[in-house]
Structure 1
Amino acid sequence: MTELEVHQQPIRYIKGVGAVREKLLNRLEIETVEDLLLFFPRRYEDRRGLTPLADVKPDTTVSLLVRVVALEKRQTSRKGFMIIQALLTDGHDFIRAVWFNRKGLERLLTPGKEVALYGAVEWRYGQLQITSPEFEIIEEGEHPDSIGHIVPVYPLTAGLQQRWFRNVVRFCLENYKITSDPLPTSICLKYEFPTFFEAVREMHYPQGRKSWKKARDRLAFQELFVLQTGMALRRGKRSHFAEKAPILPVDGPLRKKFLDEVFPYALTEAQKRVSFEISSDLEQSIPMHRLLQGDVGSGKTAIAVLALIQAVEAGFQGAFMAPTEILAQQHYYRLKSLFKHLGISVVLLVGSLKNSVRDDTLHKIESGEAQVVVGTHALFSDPVLFLKLGLAVIDEQHRFGVLQKNALRSKGSNEGMVPHVLVMTATPIPRTLTLSVYGDLSVSTIDEMPPGRTEIHTRWLKKKEERRLWTFIRERCSEKERVYWVCPLIEESEALSVTSVTERYEYLQELFSELRVGLLHGQLPAKEKENVMNHFAAGKLDILVSTTVIEVGVDVPEATVMIIEDADRFGLSQLHQLRGRVGRGKKQGYCVLLSNPSTKEAVERLKVMCATTDGFKIAEADLKLRGPGEVCGIRQHGITDFRVADLLKDRSLLELARKDASDLIEKDSRLEKEPELLNYVLRTVGRNLDLVGIA
């Protein structure tokens, strides 16, 4: 049977499945024979050696081949609780087996039956006992399936038994052989990989450690290679399928004026390098798709400004998209103050604008009067038409979906052209994730902080120690410095002992009656949020009690203290982003993690935060603590749900897979010589990578 038939064959038609078990299998995302064959064991039990009863010892796990001597079933005083005891022998010695509430067992384990058992032995009531063992009745002439070899153990859901599942897997392996192989023959020979089907069979029933390792590496490499090939195809699709972007020359006078007269700092060497990479891309007709990453405060916005100037000087518009209205407003005011010296017009487009203002803004965008547009998801909406969109800057990549980003790119359709795209993130991404999640983007990294930035002092306090902060807060505010106090929830919760932002605001207002305390959270009207932030930035508030709406991008140089309440409720990335809101001026910054963590993982996060302020080290620690599936919200992409590959353990395989995929597409850009690989890529990752039409 071909692979196509295997991946199309519904699991419900397999012998022994039926409607009830089909629903249980569906919970495990097993719908076809292929899904079943690629559902691999969680672990293995080595049952190759049979233990004679004479050698059985307590507190060991053994495989036995015995015969039933006698069976007893008795009801206990507990209603409905039943015990079944069997006396077993290997012809020389005896052992007792016990099962609980196994109805119908007495009809199976009749005296004289030969039985294979696997389970844990203990010393009970003066004799050896094997409790609730897995068993298999051996008919005459049969070889036991559950002992005598390495046995797979699967991560099943309630209602499915290991032995039944193994039988179904064995049946499918014997009757639905995968005949095609997505890996090119040259790669299989290069790495001495087994075939696809051989590797799958070895994963279920390994012959030994060495052969299992080879099979596992082959399947992990295949997953990574298929993803990298898909990303290479997507890059090729952009450059070969008539997608063109405007050429934006870099040699205009406004760029020089900005650097010489407007921008108050000299660019760092890292900023110069990254700016050159971006400006070089913008001078090409191939659409730029570049990820700009850098730690909090590394100067990414300045680089984005230079790119926007390059677009405007070439006669095109630029869009700057932020994930929240507060951030969009902050970026708007900052860009407006910078661009007024250059004669560049900037408008703000967010959902809370009054209709009259919104209509006027839409007209300016469509007519080209607005040269730079700052906004949120409102930029995606249908009424928004750009005259000539040449560059889209997206702040905080992981907060936007693929469809949203594609919608913004479609706004640039101008004489068949699409805009260049620059994605910015202040959440540094470990190299393995950069290759796997953002493998279709060119990556620029600002790995140097501007001179004069002091390292933020970070300390973890138990909640009972919070009184130690009162004097410290008053001292800082007396020096005209400002304080953030961040809470994770808005409403009071009886289920969680977490301080709500409203409760904390009222408490601090009373405690610091001589200071000005403000409140900011996501449920406030947009105008009120804007007013609160403006008052804090202008020094009309000393303390701002807030939720994580101030997590990214908010820039108040006078803010030097960040207190994060219930810090164990936040992820490492969030904690690092919040800490990055302070210490942005010349004064020393402080971060206090107020927390009584209840889990080992939470304790580790707090320790990491106290140990380093390096965003890249924090990202690596986050990857180790949470795993690739959660970092940066990548599960939303649907492209890193690997069955075998592990981005932490398989870094070397990922590097090989990326290089091999790139080399292959360079020689055969549409995989015309590798139809099996092309079909497999389109079928498994094509939709998520937007490869429709590639064939």
Structure 2
Amino acid sequence: MTSALALSSPVRYIKGVGPKRAALLSRLGVNRVDDLLFLIPRRYEDRRHLTPLRSTMAGGFATVLARVVGVERKRAQKGNLEIVTALITDGNSFAKAIWFNRKGIEKLLKPGCSVAFYGKVEVRYGWLQIANPEFEILEGEASPEEMGKIVPVYPSTEGLNQRWLRRKVREVLEQFLPSIEDPLPQSLLAKRNLLPLREALSGIHYPESEDHWRKSRTRLAYDELFLLQLGLAMRRKRYERDHKAPRLLWSGSLQRTFLKNLPFSLTSAQERVLGEIGSDVEKDVPMNRLLQGDVGSGKTLIAIASMLSAVDSGYQAALMAPTEVLARQHYIRVKETLGRMGIRCALLTSGFSQPEREARLKGIASGEVDVVIGTHALIQEDVTFFKLGLVVIDEQHRFGVLQRQTLTSKGLHPHVLVMTATPIPRTLAISVYGDLSVSVLDEFPPGRKDVTTRWVRRKELAKLYDFIRTEAMAGRQIYWVCPVIEESESQNVTSVLERYENLKETFADLRVGLMHGQLKSGDKDEVYEDFVGGKLDILVSTSVIEVGIDVPNATTMVIEDAHRFGLSQLHQLRGRVGRGSHKSYCFLLGEPSTPEGVERLKVLCATQSGFDIAESDLRLRGPGEICGTRQHGITDFRVADLLRDASLLEMAREDANELISLDPNLEEFPSLKAKLLASLGEGLSLALTG
């Protein structure tokens, strides 16, 4: 390596890499030299005690070193299947390594070469065999760096072999490890019994034992979680220091009137959450609170009561929703409730003509409008509020983590309540929304019924049609949701337009409506009002009806190609039914071709709890997609696992909050501050000073 090489240098400048291999490394997320240090092995081979072939256990996994005797490829008698078989020996016993439909194996495994094989051991037809093993061709009989050690196996891509990857990682470790500075305070290492960074980096690549690996992994996972919590704590502390929010009157006359006239009693969960919000908004510190509540738990009630606190105090309130359909439904519901109390409400979306939009903007800017409800249109540059005191953001995850800042910047540092009907596991909530307080509506109003959920195949379509007709004849209404608007040659899915025409023909005597995102605003309103008013029996739609639609008479939800939706989205769609007094049903129609798709449908059929579904969704999809953070990269951990490392996350959050409370700008820890800004400064909008 050249002496000019630095940890921040592009990886292509490492000797032996170059542009071609750098492009391959980029597929693994390795773009700079220091990325190689954090290329975490996906597993390890224990070559300290290699298993002789005769000692391997059928049904278990083993790593064996063996010499290739011969290789043959042949086609199976049935099916389009090619089988490659390598006869191997360790000098005492023989075995077979077998691959199915793998090209080029026989070109790599030459007779006489030494190979490390890793895979599941089986006994078939009297032969010991390893099916579809991973393998690594060894140069010579032994590699002195790897024999007798625990050897890392890295994520790889075609064109990069393990021997080459190990060599490059080892070279970077040898050159740079001695000069790496540990950013964590020594007191914190001692408090949490964490390994020094150099030892952890060495141990994650070449652990001396399982305990050494575990301690190394813990240190690196803690670093990722601690940095994120530190950044969130710093951002929260600065916001509270630099901004003073208006003190709002809680339990004023308008709010009291609204709550007193409700046709039902509040649940204990609703009373608790209202108390938490009230305690926040009465202070001059801006509230930043996340409200989690399963479908039907009463979040809209909480939102209205909170906005009334602002109006009671002489301020405006705003509610931002992710879709025009949801914004319009919120507007209809809120205006109906608040209009009777003399409160002036306005809707602002992109669907208005320029004169209509300008009239609304004028009312918002002059203070004639008390409550504004809208979509992303609320955060356009030409939107000016007269006196914005409280902001409610519905379905926060649909906007991403940071977008709420644009709306809150339009007021006098208003209080912020973000809501989601997609329950978020606690570990994810405090990781991604660590700068928000969390309230949970974990109790349903009396009378809410479970929805019977079934997975149906296409061969059962006729029975499903019969069921739908029975429900419609009983006066009930049906949703039928499809994943796409139009047919696509690249996707084997049923479009909403195709299903609409099919159902109109199948149910010629019923009233069938169509809803999707490309309809004009007026047409959407008309379709929605027809369905709410009972003028339609079946509404065929895309997922635009995922949230906000409330029709108690709707009892059946059919989700076409259900395996193409995320678990939480399926749960949201299911939540459109079961809102009245009648028994309700959700049918998941589809033929999933992957284990993940099958598992999604099975989980939904077996689970009613949104929080349990959120845990499964986190496990299946990962945090970035659930919370809209993938574009920011702040949950793309290399080591940490939000499910596995829940206790470590709690520890990191506690330590970060304590450190920031003592040293808000990390003045005493310049290397830690530099590391934080380099890693997350842009993603978390952290300024260098202030």
**TM-score, length of structure 2 as denominator length:** 0.88
Greater shift in the superposed pair: 600-609 or 246-255: 600-609
Q: Compared with structure 1, are the counterparts of its residues 48 and 389 closer, same or farther at alpha carbon in structure 2 (3 Å cutoff)?
A: same
Asked if structure 2 preserves the Cα contact closer than 8 Å seen for 1:380 and 1:404, the reply is: no
Sort the Cα spacing of 1:146 and 1:354 in 2 relative to 1 into closer, same or farther, 3 A. same
Aligned partner letter, 1:358: R
Report the alpha carbon displacement of residue 682 of structure 1 after superposing the two structures with TM. Answer: 1.3
SS in 2 for 1:510: helix
Distance in 2 (CA, whole Å) between partners of 1:53 and 1:279 is: 69
Aligned residue in 2 for 1:431: 426
Deviations 1:126-157 (A, max 9, x none): 9999997512248xxx9722322111111122
> Using the alignment, how far apart are the partners of 1:485 and 1:94 within structure 2?
59
Tell whether 2:500 aligns with 1:505.
yes
Q: Which among 579, 587, 596 is matched to residue 582 of structure 2?
A: 587
Could you say which residue in structure 1 is the equivalent of 2:139? 136
Question: CA 1:576–1:72 in structure 2 vs 1: closer, same or farther (change >3 Å)?
Answer: closer
What aligned pairs does 1:138-217 form with structure 2 within 5 A after superposition? 144-177=144-177, 178-217=179-218
SS at match of 1:634: coil
In 1, distance between residues paired with 2:356 and 2:90? Answer: 89
Q: Distance in 1 between matches of 2:308 and 2:136?
A: 72
Distance 1:53 1:481 in 2: 66
1:118 aligns with 2:116: yes
Which consecutive residues of structure 2, in runs of 5 or more, have no partner in the other structure? Answer: 75-83, 98-103
Q: 1:565 to 1:251 in 2, by over 3 A?
A: closer
User: Which residue of structure 2 aligns with residue 341 of structure 1?
Assistant: 340
Q: In the alignment, residue 357 of structure 2 is paired with which amino acid?
A: R
Q: Does 1:614 align with 2:614?
A: no
Structure 2 vs 1, CA of residues 133 and 494 (structure 1 numbering), >3 Å: closer, same or farther? closer
SS in 2 for 1:585: coil
**Distance apart, 1:627 and its partner CA:** 3.4
Please give the alpha-carbon distance, in whole angstroms, between the structure 2 residues aligned to 1:654 and 1:402: 19
C-alpha distance in structure 1 between counterparts of 2:450 and 2:502, whole Å: 30
> Structure 1 CA distance, aligned partners of 2:559 and 2:89?
63
Name the stretch that deviates more: 470-479 or 482-491. 470-479
C-alpha spacing 1:517/1:675, structure 2 compared with 1 (3 Å): same
**Distance in 2 of aligned mates of 1:55 and 1:575:** 49
* Structure 1 residues 578 and 72, CA gap change in structure 2 (3 angstroms): closer
Return the letter of the residue paired with 2:506.
L
1:80 matched residue in structure 2: none
Q: 1:95, CA displacement in angstroms? A: 12
TM-superposed CA distance for 1:438, in Å, is 1.0
CA distance in 2, matches of 1:503, 1:372: 40
**C-alpha contact (below 8 Å) 1:43/1:153 kept by paired residues:** yes
- How many Å apart are 1:556 and its aligned residue? 1.4
Task: Call closer, same or farther: CA 1:280–1:52 in 2, change over 3 Å.
Answer: closer
Q: Tell me how far apart the structure 2 counterparts of residues 307 and 420 of structure 1 sit (CA, whole Å).
A: 10
662 and 127 in structure 1: CA distance in 2 versus 1, 3 angstrom threshold: closer
What is the rounded CA distance, in whole Å, between the counterparts of 1:232 and 1:61 in structure 2? Answer: 46
Q: How far apart, in 1, do the equivalents of 2:128 and 2:598 lie?
A: 43
Judged with a 3 Å threshold, the aligned counterparts in structure 2 of structure 1 residues 49 and 136 are, in CA distance, closer, same or farther, namely farther
Equivalence for 2:64: 62
**Correspondence 1:101 to 2:140:** no
| Matched-pair contact (CA < 8 Å) for 2:401–2:627 | no
- Higher mean C-alpha displacement, 268-277 vs 188-197: 188-197
Contact 1:118 1:147 in 2 (8 A): no
Q: Aligned residue for 2:21? A: 21
User: After alignment, is 486-495 or 573-582 more displaced?
Assistant: 486-495
Tell me the distance in 2 between the aligned counterparts of 1:328 and 1:545: 20
Secondary structure of 2:64's partner? strand
Cα distance in 1 between the residues matched to 2:89 and 2:267: 78
Question: Does structure 2 retain, via aligned residues, the 8 Å contact 1:63–1:147?
Answer: no
Confirm whether residue 280 of structure 1 aligns to residue 272 of structure 2. no
Range that drifts further, 493-502 or 665-674:
493-502
Tell me the secondary structure at the aligned position of residue 550 of structure 2: coil
Aligned equivalents of 1:692, 1:642: Cα separation in 2: 23
Note the C-alpha offset of 1:250. Answer: 1.2
CA distance in 1: counterparts of 2:390 and 2:128, whole angstroms: 76
Q: Does 1:677 align with 2:690?
A: no
Seen in structure 2, the aligned counterparts of structure 1 residues 626 and 348 have a Cα distance that, compared at 3 Å, is same
Alignment of 1:465-504 (within 5 A): 465-504=460-499
Offset of 1:369 from its aligned partner? 0.3
Whether the aligned pair in 1 keeps the contact of 2:448 and 2:578 (CA below 8 Å) is yes
Map of 2:77 onto structure 1? none
Structure 1 residue 34: deviation in Å? Answer: 1.2
Q: C-alpha distance in 1, partners of 2:266/2:70?
A: 84
Q: Is the 8 A contact 2:9 2:32 kept in 1?
A: yes
Question: How many Å apart are 1:632 and its aligned residue?
Answer: 3.3
Against the structure 1 CA distance between its residues 628 and 555, is the aligned structure 2 distance closer, same or farther, given a 3 Å change threshold? same
Question: Which consecutive unaligned segments of at least 5 residues does structure 1 have?
Answer: 77-82, 110-114
- The residue type paired with residue 422 of structure 1 is L
Structure 2 CA distance for partners of 1:260 and 1:566, relative to 1, 3 Å: same
- Aligned partner of 1:238 in structure 2 is 239
1: CA distance, partners of 2:482 / 2:357: 33
Question: Per the alignment, do residues 129 and 144 of structure 1 end up closer, same or farther by CA in structure 2, a change over 3 Å counting?
Answer: farther
Cα distance, 1:329 vs structure 2: 0.8
Larger radius of gyration: 1
Q: Is the 8 A contact 1:221 1:645 kept in 2?
A: yes
How far apart, in 2, do the equivalents of 1:639 and 1:31 lie?
Answer: 18
Q: Please list, as runs of the form range in 1=range in 2, the aligned pairs for 1:65-80 lying within 5 A after superposition.
A: none
Deviation at 1:633, TM superposition (A): 3.5
| SS, match of residue 640 in structure 2 | coil
Offset at residue 231 of structure 1 (A): 1.0
Instruction: Verify the 8 A CA contact 1:294 1:447 in the aligned structure 2.
Output: yes
Secondary structure at the aligned position of 2:403 is classed as: helix
Residue-by-residue CA offset, 1:240-266 (whole Å, 9 max, x unaligned): 2x21211112142111111123x3222
Secondary structure (helix, strand or coil) at the match of 1:483 reads strand
In structure 1, C-alpha distance between the alignment counterparts of 2:484 and 2:611, rounded to whole Å: 28
| Alpha-carbon distance in structure 2 between the residues aligned to 1:119 and 1:464 | 44
Which residue identity does 1:290 align to in structure 2? R
Secondary structure of the residue aligned to 2:346 is strand
- Partners of 2:39 and 2:427 in 1: how far apart? 24
Counterpart code for 1:572: L
Per-residue deviation, 1:120: 7.1
Contact 1:146 1:163 in 2 (8 A): no
> Displacement of 1:22 after TM fit?
2.1
Structure 1 residues 601 and 252: CA distance shift in structure 2, 3 A: same
Query: In structure 2, the residue corresponding to 1:467 is in which secondary structure?
Result: helix
**Aligned amino acid, residue 661 of structure 1:** A
- Structure 1 residue 411, shift from structure 2 partner: 1.2
Query: Residue 423 of structure 2 contacts residue 610 of structure 2 at CA under 8 Å; is this kept in 1?
Result: yes
Distance 1:319 1:185 in 2: 46
Equivalent residue, structure 2, for 1:34: 34
Partner of 1:112: none
Label 1:73 to 1:52 Cα distance change in 2 as closer, same or farther (>3 A): closer
Alpha carbons 2:115, 2:138 under 8 Å: kept: yes
Gap change, CA 1:99 and 1:393, over 3 Å in 2: closer
> How far 1:656 moved relative to its partner?
1.2
Aligned alpha-carbon RMSD (Å): 3.5
Please name the residue that 1:79 is paired with: none
2:37 maps to a residue whose letter is: L
Q: Counterpart of 2:557 in 1: which secondary structure?
A: strand
What is the deviation of 1:180? 1.2
Give 3-state SS (helix, strand or coil) of 1:101's partner.
helix
Q: How many residues align?
A: 663
Closer/same/farther in 2, CA of residues 102 and 495 from structure 1, 3 Å limit: closer
Counterpart in the other structure of 2:618:
623
Q: Which letter does structure 2 place at the counterpart of 1:135?
A: L
Q: CA, structure 1 residues 284+462, in 2 after alignment: closer, same or farther (shift >3 Å)?
A: same
> Under a length normalisation based on structure 1, what TM-score does the superposition of the two structures give?
0.88
- Do the aligned partners of 1:136 and 1:146 also contact (CA within 8 Å) in 2? no
User: Does residue 539 of structure 1 match 2:534?
Assistant: yes
- Render the CA deviation track for 1:462-488: whole Å, top value 9, x for unaligned: 222122233432332233321111112
Partners of 2:454 and 2:333 in 1: CA distance: 32
In 2, Cα distance between equivalents of 1:159 and 1:423: 46
